[in-house]
């Protein structure tokens, strides 16, 4: 009888606790959450959605809401499906509300909300909903900075805060009015320190978000600190321990290309099983670029795969531009005109690369095959071959005034790759003199590269001078990217 009463008392106590809402929500990164996260970064959207619906992760574990958002985020950001965007954007508010009404500790509430806001900020930006993107960014920043002040030992804050401060440190000049209005700011220095706090924690825990933080650090090194070789070496060591997946392959290939390891870029992408590669169409585009940069005859097939399988709009114009270039190199004028026309009519001019491709196609200006070949070989870091292409065609190119600026600019870039500082600076200066209107992206990038070269030898005054000259110009192409890089340079000098 006594045991029956005890058992009844325990059952009633549990029921009372549940009825009073004291069965707390929680956050747990366990085997089941790791399983779903792996499915998501493998871009198995349907499988991940099915696993989440199967209740393998209890609804009280609020990581489930974050994983649902991750799944939608990658699908939206990668595939740019505007119909899916219209159908799902209401989920942001619903998921935020669920977290706010949960019984989680405040630090977890703030972090999970900030993650969702950040992911949607990137989606809004991709969908050209700039005001919504800035709003989400501001909300994420406020939540994370509140955590940093009130819960300084909560390590998760520093992953997202580091990434956010890195992004904000190089906001293009055209958007600074909005960042000032909304109180958004960040520096590379604080971004690095914050990200390192989370990295140290994630490595000790073997956390599922470790790869995400590693990728963020590699991008920070390559794109903000201009240490692309160091970034590639850092990432390559880490990739040994990572199971191949489309996202990490993309990051590894992107950093390899940035560091000038064109052959490594090809190997990294082609080492991913073809079925996995198909999940991320951008890998086909990137492989096409790498193949074209070594003047590989088979480059066309990858661009054609990209434009036929990707249903978004980013880099479509540039893919057709590269197809046109390859046709011109091969002397096929009919194909050149066909792809030039498709460059004008297909895709959208949102990214700097697509804007440049569209502008070039609209102008219909004559192009010299040797300059195209030298540009491609130079971009692929095949400096000796690029120099040979130019030198053997020097008289033909310089005899036409419209090619002089590009000739000197391309030659300077080649000597820069060869670490011949004197010849690089001489030819950059020549290219600048060939552009009295100060409108060409090549003369503007010449100023940027001169700034980088002086920064490398610690000539701070000269470096600062050239970075500021970049910001004084409004080039006809790549303006946002060039200004962003110059701003990052000035921040590094501080």
Beta bridge partners of 26: 61
Q: In this prediction, what percent of the chain has a pLDDT beyond 70?
A: 92
Closest among 434, 443, 447 to 486, alpha carbons compared: 447
pLDDT attached to residue 6: 46
Confidence grade of residue 173 (pLDDT, cut at 50, 70, 90): low
Entry pTM? 0.85
Q: Tell me the percentage of the chain whose pLDDT exceeds 90.
A: 80
**Rounded-to-integer distance, Cα 48 and Cα 43, Å:** 9
By residue count, the chain amounts to 494
The per-residue pLDDT for 210 is 93
Q: Which of 451, 444, 453 is nearest to 491 (CA)?
A: 451
Q: Average pLDDT, stretch 90-118?
A: 97
Asked if 66 contacts 112 with a C-beta cutoff of 8 angstroms, the reply is yes
433-470 pLDDT, tens digit each: 999 998 999 999 999 999 999 999 999 999 999 999 99
Residue 131 in this model has a pLDDT that exceeds 50: yes
In the predicted structure, residue 10 carries a pLDDT above the cut 60: no
Q: What is the pLDDT of residue 225?
A: 87
Q: In angstroms, what CA-CA distances link 134 with 70, 153, 184, 219?
A: 19, 28, 9, 22
- 404 and 285 Cβ atoms separated by less than 8 Å: no
pLDDT at 156 over 70: yes
The Cα 217–Cα 230 span in angstroms is 11
Q: Is the pLDDT of residue 184 over 70?
A: no
Residue 32: band (very low, low, confident or very high) from pLDDT cuts 50, 70, 90:
very high
Q: What is the mean pLDDT of residues 226-254?
A: 91
Q: Where are the alpha helices (DSSP H) in 418-478?
A: 421-433, 441-456, 460-471
Closest CA to 173 of 494, 450, 474: 474
Q: So what's the pLDDT on residue 335?
A: 95
pLDDT for 180 equals: 58
pLDDT of 185 higher than 70: no
Residue 172, class by beta-carbon neighbours within 10 Å (0-12 exposed, 13-18 middle, 19+ buried)?
A: middle
CA dihedral in degrees (211, 212, 214, 218; nearest 10)?
A: 130
Q: Mean per-residue pLDDT for 468-477?
A: 92
pLDDT score recorded for residue 123: 96
What pLDDT score does 7 carry?
Answer: 46
Note whether 447 and 432 are within 8 A (CB): yes
Q: Tokens in use for 177?
A: 């009015």
Q: Is the pLDDT of residue 190 over 90?
A: no
User: Has residue 45 got a pLDDT over 70?
Assistant: yes
Closest by CA to 99, choosing from 138, 124, 68, 121, is: 68
Question: What does pLDDT average to over the chain?
Answer: 90
Q: 3 falls in which pLDDT band (50, 70, 90)? A: very low
The structure tokens listed for 274 are 């073809």
Please give the distance of CA 365 from its chain centroid, rounded to a whole number: 31
């Amino acid at each position: 009888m006594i045991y029956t009463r005890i058992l009844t008392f325990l059952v009633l106590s549990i029921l009372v606790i549940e009825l009073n809402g004291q069965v707390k929500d929680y956050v747990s990164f366990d085997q089941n959450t790791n399983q779903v996260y792996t499915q998501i970064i493998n871009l198995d959207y349907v499988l991940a959605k099915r696993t989440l619906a199967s209740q393998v992760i209890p609804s009280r574990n609020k990581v489930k809401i974050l994983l649902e958002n991750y799944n939608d985020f990658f699908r939206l950001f990668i595939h740019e499906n505007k119909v899916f965007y219209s159908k799902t954007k209401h989920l942001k508010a619903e998921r935020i509300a669920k977290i706010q009404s949960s019984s989680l500790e405040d630090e977890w509430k703030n972090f999970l909300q900030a993650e969702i806001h950040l992911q949607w900020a990137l989606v809004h930006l991709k969908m050209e909903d700039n005001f919504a993107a800035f709003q989400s960014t501001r909300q994420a920043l406020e939540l994370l900075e509140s955590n940093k002040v009130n819960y300084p030992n909560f390590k998760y804050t520093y992953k997202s805060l580091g990434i956010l401060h890195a992004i904000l440190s190089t906001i293009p000049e055209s958007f600074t009015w909005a960042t000032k209005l909304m109180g958004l700011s960040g520096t590379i220095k604080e971004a690095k320190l914050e990200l390192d706090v989370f990295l140290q924690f994630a490595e000790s825990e073997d956390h599922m978000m470790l790869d995400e933080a590693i990728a963020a650090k590699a991008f920070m090194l390559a794109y903000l600190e201009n240490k692309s070789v160091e970034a590639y070496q850092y990432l390559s060591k880490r990739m040994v321990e990572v199971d191949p997946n489309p996202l990490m392959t993309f990051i590894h290939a992107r950093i390899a290309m940035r560091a000038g390891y064109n052959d490594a870029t090809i190997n990294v992408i082609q080492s991913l099983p073809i079925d996995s590669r198909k999940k991320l169409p951008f890998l086909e585009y990137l492989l096409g670029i790498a193949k074209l940069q070594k003047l590989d005859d088979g480059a066309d097939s990858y661009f054609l795969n990209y434009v036929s399988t990707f249903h978004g709009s980013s880099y479509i114009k540039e893919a057709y531009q590269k197809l046109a270039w390859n046709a011109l190199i091969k002397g096929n004028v009919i194909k050149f005109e066909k792809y030039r026309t498709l460059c004008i009519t297909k895709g959208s001019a949102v990214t700097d690369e697509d804007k440049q491709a569209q502008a070039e196609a609209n102008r219909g200006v004559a192009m010299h095959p040797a300059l195209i070949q030298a540009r491609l070989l130079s971009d692929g870091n095949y400096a000796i071959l690029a120099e040979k292409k130019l030198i053997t065609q020097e008289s033909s190119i310089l005899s036409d005034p419209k090619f002089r600026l590009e000739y000197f600019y391309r030659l300077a870039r080649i000597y820069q790759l060869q670490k011949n500082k004197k010849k690089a600076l001489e030819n950059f200066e020549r290219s600048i003199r060939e552009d009295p209107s100060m409108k060409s992206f090549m003369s503007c990038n010449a100023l940027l590269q001169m700034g980088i070269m002086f920064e490398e030898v610690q000539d701070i005054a000269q470096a600062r001078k050239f970075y500021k000259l970049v910001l004084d110009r409004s080039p006809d192409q790549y303006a946002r990217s060039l200004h962003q890089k110059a701003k990052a340079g000035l921040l590094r000098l501080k």
